[in-house]
Amino acid sequence: MKQKLILSLKGGIALLCRIRRHRKLKMSLLAVSMLVSNSSILLAEAQTITLERKNVDLEELLNTIKDKSGYRFFWKGNDLGALPASINVKNASIQETMDQLAKSLPITYSITNKSVVIRQKENTKPTAKETPLQELLALTGKVKNKEGKPIAGSTITVEGNGTKRDISTAKDGSFVLDRMPPGNYKVIVSCVGHNTQEFQINLAKDKKNHDFTLVPTDHEIEAVVAMGYGNVKRKDLTGAIGSIGRETIENTSVSSVDQLLQGKVAGVDVMISSGMPGAAVKVRIRGNSSLIGNTEPLYVVDGIPVITDRNYAFNQTTGGDIRENLSGLLNINIADVESIDVLKDASASAIYGSRAANGVVIITTRKGIKGQKPLINVGYDYGFQKMHNAYRPLNTAEFRNIMTEAATNGSPSLQGWWSAVYPHMALILNKPDEYFGTEDNNWLKLMTNNKSSAENFNISSRGGSDNITYYVSYSNNSNNGVLKGSGMTRNSGKAQLDAYINPNLRMGANINVSNSDTDIKNGGLTNLITWRPDLPIYNADGSYYSYENSDNPLAASTQINNAVTTALNGSGYLELKVLPGLFLKSALSFSYDLSKTRLYFPTTTIQGSREGGIGEQSHSENLNRIFDNTLNYNRVFNEKHDFNALLGMSFEQLTAQFFTGIGTGYPNDYVLNNLSSAANAYAVSGDKEKVGLASYFSRMNYIYDDRYLLTFTARLDGSSKFGSDNRYGFFPSVAAAWKINQESFLKQTEWIDELKLRSSYGIVGGSSLGTYRWRTKYTSAGYAGLPGIIPQNLENPALRWERTSMFDAGLEFSLFDYQLNGSIGVYSKYSKDLLQSTTIATSTGFNTVTRNVSESSNKGIEMALNGYLLKRDKFKWHMGANAAKNVAKIEKLNDGKDVGSYYDDNRFIEGEPAGTLWGYVAAGIFQTQAEVDQYNQAAREKTGNPKAYYQEQFTAPGDIRFVDVNGDGKVDFEDQQVIGNSSPKWTGGLTNTFTFLDNFSLTVYSNFSIGGKKLWNAKRTAYTFTDQNQSHLMLDRWTVDNPTNDAPRLSIGDRVNNARVSTFWLHDYSYFKIQDINLSYKLPANIAKKFKTRNLMLHASVSNIATFTKYPGMSPEGFSASYDGAFYNGSIDYTDYPMTKTWSFGIKAEL
C-alpha cells in the first residue's frame, strides 16, 4: 500500500513539475505532499492496543478496544456483554488482546477481516441467562441516481446494533456487507456531486437487499446550507438564504471571494471598483441599512467574523491608504472555499444580532472526509491580461490643436488677474513654439505592462480514517497588473483536523494563514493620460524631466507604494455528547492581521529631491478573540415532532492599534530607505483601541409532520461602544413555513416535488460608529511650549444601537422531478435610530456630535429560477437566473435638513435614497450667439437688472445651457436639485452550463444592472482645462463645424463653469456584462490513469469578456473606495485603473 501511494504521489509531482518549473514551488509541493503522504500512511496502518481495565462490563471493554483498533465486535444479547472483565495489555495486537480475554472469560472468538465474532464456550454458562448467537446475514444492494444509473465509488456507512461499517460501491453501483446481525440500521450513503442521505432499514432473512437513490447537488432543495452556529437542509428553511456551491466556485475566475457574489444571488448588488489586482468590491444586500460607517455585510469564515473595516493608519503624505482600495477578503484562498451562504432576512441573520443589519455572508471552507483514502488535488492556472476599454491619450499633434482651440476660446474671459493664473495661454496664442515641445510620447503605452499575467497554483489533500479527518492546502497567487508598478502576490495555507475521540467526544482545530504583498501605481490612469505628450522623458543630464512642479509618469513610477498584510485565523473546539441528541460545544477562535504600508518618494521625484527622499511607514494590528459556548438539542418525537434548540453565549474582544511616521533625508533611495535610516523623523502618531462584545443567543426550530415549520431566534448583545444605559440590545425574530406539497390535496401531484410558503419578521442591529463616541476622547496638544491634552470630540452617553426591522415572505418550489427550481419573495426593511453627525452650537467648542436621529427604508422583490432547458444523454443545458428590485428611501433626517458633501455633489435628503446626486439640470448646448443673447435679455427683463446674465458673463456658443429651475430669470446655486440616484432599479445574473459528451463542460456567467445613474467624473473634470493633455474623448467636442449637443466647447480655465455637477455629465450606467466563460475537458479515466492520476481536467477561461452598456466611461461599475459608503453609494466614477480582460488556461489533477 505504501509503495502504491508513493508511486502515485511521484507521478503527480512529476506531472506538476512539467507544468511549472519554479524551484520554490516545487520544493513547497514536495514538502506538503510528503507531509500529507506520511500522515495518511500512518492513519492507514494497523494500530496496536495499550489498555488497562478492571472489573468493567465486557461490552464497555470491547467498545474501547474497537475505538483503539478499528475492529468491530458481534455477540448475542445483553447477558454476554454484561460479564465482568479485566485486561492489561501494552502494544498488543488484536489477537493477543483477545487471547488474554478468552483466558479469563468463558468465551471463544474468531477474526475475519476487521470483524470479531464472540461466542460462549460450550458446556459453560455465563453469569446471565445464555441465548444462542444470532445468525449473521449479508446486506446487499445498489446505489443509483434519479435516472436509475449506477453510481460507482459511493460510500455506504452502516450504524446500529453495536456496529459501524463502511464500504464503497463497485462499478455497477453494487455493494455487499457480510456478517451483519439482523436488526434495524441507519445507512448513510454519500458520493461526491450528490447530497448525502440517511436511510433507516431493517435487515432480516427475507429483506437483505436494499437499493438507494442519491440526488445530485444541483437539486437545491436537498442542499445543506449554513445559517450561523449550525446547518439546515434548504427544504427545511424558514428564512431567506442564497447559496453558492462548490461547482460554481470552481468555474469562476475571480481574485477575491466577494467578487464571487456578483450575479449569483438575488438581492445582492456587487460592483468591482477597477481592474487593479485585488481591487475593492462593493457589496450591498437588500440596500443600505446605515447612513454612516461600514455598510458592507458581516462576513463569517468557518464561524469567525472577519473584520473588514479595519483600523488603518492613513498616510499623512498623501492623505489616504492603499488598503482602502483593496478587497477586505483578499487573504482568503478561493480554492479552499466549499460554499457561500448569504443570510438576507431576520430569521436567518438574527442569530448574529447587532451585526446583521447589512446581511451576513457565511463562508465555509473545505474539510476532511471520514473513511477517505488520501485525495490530493493539484491545480495550476496561467493567464495573460490586457486593458479593457481604456482611454487613449492624445498625441502631440492632437494635443497642440485642442490647446490652441481652448486658448482661443478662453482668451476673452481670462483678462486682468486671470491671465496671471493661466500664463501659458499667452504663449500658446503668441509664441506657440516656445510652449509646445517636439516629443511625441504616449505615456500610457510607456507605462503599460505588455507582459501582464496572472498565475494561480493550488495543492490540497483531504481524507481520514474512522476517527480522524483532515484537510491541508497551500496556494500561491500572483498578478503583475496591466500598469507597470502595480501587482499583487499572495501565499496562503490551511490545515484542518477533526478527531472523534470516542462516540461521545469530538474535537477539532482549524488554522488559516496568508500573506499578501500589493504594489499600486501612483498617479494611476489619470496621470498617464493628462501628462503632456510633447514633453521629454529625460533631461540632458539623464535625470527625469519635470514640468510645473509635476513628475512625469516614469519618474512617478519610481515611487514605492506598498502594502503587506499577514492574516492568521484559527479556532479549536471540543464537542461533548451529553445525552442522546444533546451536544455541548466550546470553541476558542481568533483573527489576527498585521498590515504594513510603505510610501517612499525617492530623489528621482520632485517631492523627494527637495528633502533627500521622503518616506512614510505605517503599522496596523488587529486581534479579535472569541469564546463561544453552545448547547444544541435535536430530537424527533413520535416520528412527527422534529425539535431542534440552540442556546449559546459568546464573548469577543477586538484590539486594534496603529503607528505611523514620516522621515526625510535618506542616504540611499534603494537600500537604506526604511524609516530608521532617515536623518529626520517627524509626524509620528498612533492609536490603540479595544472593543468588547458579550452576547447571549438562542434559536428553536420545530417541524411538525414535515409540513409545518417554526423558527424562533433571539440574541442579546452588549457592546463597550455604548454607555452603560444603552449597552445592551435585544434582537428577536420569528419565522414560519408551510410545505404545501406535503398536504394530502397535493401529495399525489407528481409534477410538484416541493412547494413551500415562508414568512418571517424580526429585528437586527448595527453599530456604525467609532470605538469611544459615547464618551469624550482626548488628544495631545501643546501651548506655550508645554505639553497637554485637549478634548477631541463631544461625548454623547445617550448613543444606542441602530435597529432594523425586517419583514420577509416568499414561495419556493421544485417541479418536474426537481428539474425546475425557483423562488419568489418580497421584503420590507425599516431602519431607525440611525447614527448621524449633527450640527451643534459652536459655543460648545465643537461643530458636530453623533446622535441617533435618522430613519430609512428598503422594499423589494427577489426572483430566482434554475433548471434544465435540455437534458439528453450526451448533451445537457442548465440555466440559472435571478433578478431583484430594491426601492430605498431616507425617511427621516435630523430636523429634516439635507446633508451635503464637501463638494455638494451628493446629499442625504428626506424622501430620497442614499447616493442621491445634487446639481444643475442641463438642457443642451447654446448653438449660436443669438441664442445666448436671447437668454441674457430675458434674464435682464425678469430681474430688472440691465447687467444681468442668464448664466455667466462669458457664456458663448458651445457652452452648456442650464435650466432656471426656480424661474427667477438666472441660473445660480438655488437652481440645483436632485438630478439622479446611483441605486439601480433592477440587478441580477444569468448562468448557463452546457455539458456534452460526458467530458466537456461550458459555463457562461453574466450579470446585469438596470436604472442607476452615475457621474462621469473623468470627462467632467477634464473641462476644467489647464494645460494638461486629454483623452481621445475630447476629439468629439463642440466646434462651429461640429455643432454637437454631446460635448461643450473647449476653454482654458472654464470661466463659464461647464464642468459644474449637472445632468450633462450624468449617465445611466445600466449594463449587461458577460463575466466569465469557462470551458473544461475531463480526460477519460484510462488516459488519466497513464498520468498516475484519478482524474485529470484541462480548462480555459476568459473573464470580463464584454459589457453591453450606453455608459461612456471605462466601466459602468467603476467607483472609488475612498468615496464609498452609503453617502456616495458608488454614484461617482473615479475609476483610475483600467478594467482588464483575462485569458487563462489551467490543469487540475486528482491524485
Q: How many domains does the chain have?
A: 4
Same domain, 65 and 89: yes
Between 1022 and 1122, residue with greater pLDDT? 1022
pLDDT at 63: 82
Asked if pLDDT for residue 11 goes beyond 50, the answer is no
337-343 and 1095-1109: which strand pairing?
A: unpaired
Q: Which of 216, 247, 280 is the last residue of a domain?
A: 216
Non-local (6+) Cβ contacts of 268 within 8 A are: 242, 261, 283, 284, 285, 342, 359, 884, 987
As to burial, measured by CB atoms within 10 angstroms (0-12 exposed, 13-18 middle, 19+ buried), residue 768 is: buried
Residue 773 near residue 798, CB atoms below 8 Å: no
- 499 pLDDT more than 80: yes
| H-helix or E-strand spanning residue 643 | strand 641-664
Q: What's the pLDDT at 842?
A: 82
> Which of residues 191, 216, 241 is at a domain's end?
216
Nearest to 646 by CA among 737, 708, 712, 728: 712
Q: Which residues pair with 713 in a beta bridge?
A: 699, 733
Question: Does the pLDDT at position 581 exceed 50?
Answer: yes
| Phi, psi dihedral angles at 960 (to 5 degrees) | -70, 135
CB 613 within 8 A of CB 664: yes
Q: What percent of the chain has pLDDT over 90?
A: 41
CA nearest neighbour of 1074 among 394, 498, 197, 262: 262
Identify whether 28 is part of a domain: yes
Query: The CATH number of the domain where 152 resides is what?
Result: 2.60.40.1120
pLDDT of residue 417: 57
Q: Is residue 159 part of a domain?
A: yes
How far apart (Å, rounded) are the C-alpha atoms in residues 1123 and 320? 11
Please give the Cα distance from 759 to 117 (Å, whole number). Answer: 54
pLDDT in tens, 827-857: 999 999 988 888 888 888 888 888 888 899 9
Burial of 562 (0-12, 13-18, 19+ CB in 10 A): middle
pLDDT at position 415, please? 63
pLDDT computed for residue 645 by the predictor: 95
Q: For residues 886 and 860, is the Cβ–Cβ distance under 8 A?
A: yes
Residue ending a domain, among 160, 190, 216, is 216
Residue 943 lies in a domain: yes
Phi, psi of 435 (to 5 degrees): -90, -50
Amino acid letter for position 367: K
Across residues 180-205, what is the average pLDDT? 79
**662 Cβ neighbours under 8 A, 6+ residues apart:** 316, 317, 614, 615, 616, 681, 682, 683, 684
Q: Which cell numbers hold the place of 722?
A: 455604548
Q: Could you tell me if 186 and 151 lie in one domain? A: yes
Residues near 610 by Cβ (< 8 Å), separated by ≥ 6? none
Name which residue leads in pLDDT, 702 or 684. Answer: 702
Over the stretch 121-158, which tens digit does the pLDDT of each residue have? 765 544 433 334 446 678 888 998 876 778 877 888 88
Query: Where does 430-482 show beta strands of DSSP type E?
Result: 453-464, 468-479
Q: Is residue 242 part of a domain?
A: no
For the purposes of burial, counting CB atoms within 10 Å of the CB of 58, is it exposed (0-12), middle (13-18) or buried (19 or more)? buried
The answer to whether position 354 is within a domain reads no
The more confident residue out of 150 and 341 is 341
Q: Are 115 and 179 in contact (CB under 8 A)?
A: yes
pTM (2 d.p.): 0.80
Supply angle C-alpha 632, 637, 638, rounded to 5: 165
Residue 312 pLDDT: 46
Which of 180-194, 198-212, 519-533, 951-965 holds the top average pLDDT? 951-965
* DSSP bridge pairs for 586: 574, 629
Q: Is the pLDDT of residue 45 over 70?
A: no
pLDDT in tens, 395-451: 999 999 999 999 888 877 666 656 666 778 888 888 999 999 999 999 999 998 888
Q: Which of 490, 226, 496 is nearest to 364 (CA)?
A: 226
The parent domain of residue 145 ranges over 137-216
pLDDT tens, residue by residue, 553-574? 999 888 888 889 999 999 999 9
CA distance 457 to 453: 13
Q: Residues near 897 by Cβ (< 8 Å), separated by ≥ 6?
A: none
Same domain, 111 and 143: no
In the predicted structure, residue 318 carries a pLDDT above the cut 60: no
Of 639, 644, 629, residue with least CA distance to 581:
644
Report the share of the chain in percent with pLDDT over 70. Answer: 88
Distance in Å from the first CA to the final CA of the chain? 15
pLDDT beyond 50 at 241: yes
Confidence of residue 901 (pLDDT cuts 50, 70, 90): low
pLDDT at residue 629 in the model: 96
Torsion angle (degrees, nearest 10) of CA 541, 544, 545, 548: -130
191 within a domain of the structure (yes/no): yes
Residues 39 and 60 in one domain: no
Q: What pLDDT shows up at residue 503?
A: 86
Residue 40 belongs to a domain = yes
What residues are paired with 860 via a beta bridge? Answer: 827, 886
Among 423-427, 539-543, 989-993, where is mean pLDDT lowest?
423-427
pLDDT tens for 629-657 read 999 999 988 888 999 999 999 999 999 99
Sorted by sequence, the CB contacts under 8 Å of residue 474 that are 6+ apart come out as 28, 29, 32, 458, 459, 460, 491, 492, 493
Q: Do 143 and 112 share a domain, yes or no?
A: no
Half-sphere exposure of 869 (CA within 13 A, CB side): 12
Give just the sign of the alpha carbon dihedral 228, 232, 238, 243: positive
DSSP secondary structure of 1012-1062: -EEEEHHHHHHTT-SS---BGGGGS---SS---SSS----TT-TT-TTSSB
Q: Does any domain span residue 190?
A: yes
Of 599-603, 749-753, 922-926, which one has max mean pLDDT? 922-926
One domain for residues 209 and 144: yes
pLDDT over 70 (residue 320): no
- Rounded CA-CA distance 1104/1112 in Å is 17
Q: Cell match 507597470: residue?
A: 484
With H, G, I as helix, E, B as strand and everything else as coil, classify residue 193. coil
pLDDT at 30: 35
pLDDT of residue 847: 82
Average pLDDT over residues 536-561: 91
Nearest to 1017 by CA among 963, 1067, 1070: 1067
Answer yes or no: do 144 and 75 share one domain.
Answer: no
* Least confident piece of the model among 430-439, 587-596, 768-777: 768-777
pLDDT of residue 147: 67
C-alpha cell at 785: 511650549
Provide the pLDDT for residue 773.
78
Residues 40 and 53 reside in one and the same domain: no
**pLDDT one-digit tens code per residue, 358-375:** 999 999 999 988 878 888
Alpha helices in 191-313 (DSSP H): 246-250
Q: How far apart are CA 914 and CA 452, in angstroms?
A: 38
Residue 1064, helix vs strand vs coil: helix
Same domain, 175 and 110: no
- Residue 38 sits in the same domain as residue 56: no
Q: 3-class SS at 334?
A: helix
Quick check: helix, strand or coil at residue 170? coil
Residues 56 and 102 in one domain: yes
User: What is d(CA 251, CA 1018) in angstroms, rounded to the nearest whole number?
Assistant: 34
Determine phi and psi for 1046, rounding to 5 degrees: -95, -20
Beta bridge partners of 715: 697, 731
Residue 784: half-sphere exposure toward Cβ, Cα within 13 Å: 0
Convert the pLDDT of each residue in 1123-1142 to its tens digit.
Answer: 555 555 666 777 778 888 99
Q: Are residues 38 and 62 in the same domain?
A: no
Which residues is 454 bridged to in the sheet? 383, 479
Lowest-confidence segment of 517-531, 656-670, 964-978, 988-1002 by average pLDDT: 517-531
Q: Minimal CA–CA distance to 993: which of 151, 218, 216? A: 218
Q: State residue 131's pLDDT score.
A: 36
Q: What is the mean pLDDT of residues 1066-1083?
A: 94
Would the pLDDT of 322 be above 60? no
Mean pLDDT score across all residues of the chain: 84
The identity of residue 666, as a single letter, is: Y
Confidence class of residue 693 from pLDDT cuts 50, 70 and 90? Answer: very high
Give the cell for residue 732.
428577536
Predicted confidence (pLDDT) at residue 865 exceeds the cutoff of 80? yes
Q: What is the CATH number of the domain that holds 96?
A: 3.55.50.30
Does residue 759 carry a pLDDT above 90? yes
Instruction: Based on DSSP, count helices (H) and strands (E) in the chain, helices before strands.
Output: 19, 56
DSSP conformation class of 740 = G
Q: Is the pLDDT assigned to residue 35 strictly greater than 60?
A: no
